[in-house]
Amino acid sequence: MTNLDELFSFTAADALAETESKKTNFSGNSEIYKPSIKDEKCKDEKYRALIRFIPFVYDNKVRTTIERWECFLRDVNGENGIYVVSPKTIGKSCPMRNLSYKLYTSDNAVDKENSKKINVYQQWYALIEVVKDVQHPEFEGKHFIYQFGKKIYDKIIEAQKGSEFKDAINPFDFWNARCFEINLSKGSQKMNGRDVTNYDACGFVEKSTPIHFGDGQTLEQTTESKTAFMEWLNNDAPKINNFQWKDWSAELTEKVNANLATYTSTYSAPVSSQSTAQNILNEINETVSSPTPQPKVETPVKDVEASTPDKNDADIDSWIDDNLS
């Protein structure tokens, strides 16, 4: 049975350690809150909202955010797209990142160009209450799973650590946490010829608020209130724990391997079995052959910060930072 007193003694130091932790157990789908300057209700390409972060519980421990590495993987012709959560999420080698690096370090110019079609990006998820949303007032008072990238994550960590001139705060405090202002605008720079979202104006504000949950309830420091909050988390809150990591199925593994195999000259379609695809992938891991030139397919830019992942991980991260971010 969960010890309520132990759970609700979650301190600022606990929140920082949990938020910085690279360990994660989550994957899946749920009700996502992902503000965008491309929202049809955005005026002047600006999005403004105020949110309150809410800690949640997994495996009898308080959690703050969920970190994942994700990829929408297409074959070399830009077809057969599949959504994949990278094994890097749980600290394992990522075949998408490995192949992207091998292609880029090839002597073949087509390989180098094709390497940019494989983009594994880092995302975080947090349980929130929308306090105010200028574009969508119907969201106010509702709870969502907020999806965000590294720029927002860095602001959370910075606020939790504080500085010589700023006191550290705990945005995941159960009782009275500062709200976070989402203030998005169109950036002055472009990526692949497209506008990039500017996150500079986002940050924590002076306004603070308790946790609201259920049918207008406010979390209080009583056993009755704590119990009601835990019941809400388990039964009625957005199911953030559905984002738990799951090993790839045989079907998904075959699809991933088949798409990756199209980036090499050793590929012959169709791949009819997992073993065939795995044999091809093994060849990829040994060497990257020069493929037959394929028509260049422009990869759509996701409306998230495409932070860059994975070669001996240090080399891969450095390369992707320079080339794909």
Tell whether pTM > 0.85: no
pLDDT digits (tens, 9 = 90+) for 4-63: 766 677 676 666 666 555 443 323 333 899 999 989 898 888 999 999 999 999 988 999
Query: Count of alpha carbons within 13 Å of 188, Cβ hemisphere only?
Result: 1
Q: Looking at residue 297, what is its pLDDT?
A: 38
Are the C-beta atoms of 81 and 72 separated by less than 8 Å? yes
Strand, coil or helix: 98: helix
Where do the domains of the chain lie, and which CATH numbers do they carry? 4-67+122-243 (3.90.198)
Q: Reply yes or no on whether the pLDDT at 279 is more than 70.
A: no
Asked whether the bond before 270 is cis by omega within 30 degrees of 0, the reply is yes
pLDDT digits (tens, 9 = 90+) for 89-105: 999 999 999 999 999 99
Residues 6+ apart with CB under 8 A from 88: 69, 94, 97, 120, 309, 310
pLDDT digits (tens, 9 = 90+) for 137-151: 999 999 999 999 999
Strand, coil or helix: 31: coil
Cβ-in-10-Å burial (0-12, 13-18, 19+) of 214 comes to: middle
Give the H/E segment covering residue 197.
Answer: strand 194-198
